[in-house]
Amino acid sequence: MKTEPFFRQNESTLMIKEWESFDASLKAGFSTRVGGTSVNGYNSLNVGLHVNDIDSNVIKNREKIAEILRIPLNQWVFSDQVHKAQIHHVTKSDKGKGAFNYENAIKATDGLYTREKGIMLALCYADCVPVYFYAPSHQLIGIVHAGWKGTVENIVGQMISTWTKNEGVSTNDIYIAIGPSIEECCYIVDDRVIEALTTLLGDQARHTFKEVSTGQYRLNLKLANQIICEKNGIDSNHILVSKDCTSCNEELFFSHRRDKGSTGRMMSFIGFEEDES
């Protein structure tokens, strides 16, 4: 059995250690809810500026993680996530967007990628699936936010297609990591979700869900995205999958479903430290 690919580096960050063997300057991982300044339902490391927390506390929390990763917050890029499949190619002109102010985040976008060093890509979560992309031989990195809506709109396939068609990357060169999110033990969905997933995955969709009562199903959204990766040509040996369930582990993670919508956010992040010169 494979070990958990997201290693707890400290109280506030989980890191994809296996990818650091490709390039020590790569920083890729996921934040926890521990070690911040937010209070009440946002206790304590909430990094979402859109959940009615005190903005100054959220910025302090983000700055803490930025300091841990040694990439200043003014070099981070966030987007306004809308559960769709829009992908944005991030350049140096995007530095700082959404980092301190939600209003200037990249609009209506759930996927980010870049070749630039000294930029940290970041998206926010409270159960949805974070999917990380890395092509070491091309110095290309990316992340997507894949809730069930983004999943059935094929945002993961869109990122892979963008890289192969626009960036000249072979699927053989792409590595994927699927991060902490809600697991099937805690995730019940209805016919609408299952029908949309079946439209996308065909017969393979049946491996991702189990009916628990009429019109109600336990859904493994991580597995759904893993299957999408493989259907789009990614080698299964290039795919890492976290075992962490955001809903089960209340000590470590916020959960939108467990906390009935009133909760904070964690974030996925991926970026290269700038070359020292």
Fill in the amino acid letter for 23. Answer: D
Question: Does residue 217 sit in helix, strand or coil?
Answer: strand
Q: Domain map of the chain by residue range? A: 6-182+233-272
Nearest-10 crossing angle of helices 221-231, 191-201? 20
Residue 162: which pLDDT band, with cuts at 50, 70 and 90? very high
pLDDT band at residue 1 under the 50/70/90 scheme: low
How buried is 236 (Cβ within 10 angstroms: 0-12 exposed, 13-18 middle, 19+ buried)?
exposed
Residue 277 has pLDDT above 70, yes or no: no
Is the pLDDT confidence value at 198 over 80?
yes
Q: What pLDDT shows up at residue 2?
A: 73
What CATH number does the domain located at 6-182+233-272 have? Answer: 3.60.140.10
DSSP string, 84-126: S--EEE--GGGTTTTTS-GGGSBTT-SEEEE--TT-EEEEEES
Confidence label for 7 from pLDDT (cuts 50, 70 and 90): very high
Give 80-106 pLDDT, tens digit per residue: 999 999 999 999 999 999 999 999 999
- Name the pLDDT band for 247 (thresholds 50, 70, 90): very high
Q: What's the pLDDT at 216?
A: 98
Average pLDDT value for residue range 18-42 = 97
- Token pair, residue 15, equals 């890191």
Does pLDDT of 276 surpass 70?
A: no
pLDDT at 275: 78
**Is 14:32 a contact under the CB 8 Å cutoff?**
yes
Burial class for 35, CB neighbours closer than 10 Å (0-12, 13-18, 19+):
middle
Measured distance CA(153)–CA(160) in Å, rounded: 13
Average pLDDT taken over every residue of the chain: 97
Neighbours of 191 (CB within 10 A): 12
pLDDT digits (tens, 9 = 90+) for 136-153: 999 999 999 999 999 999
What is d(CA 52, CA 42) in angstroms, rounded to the nearest whole number? 9
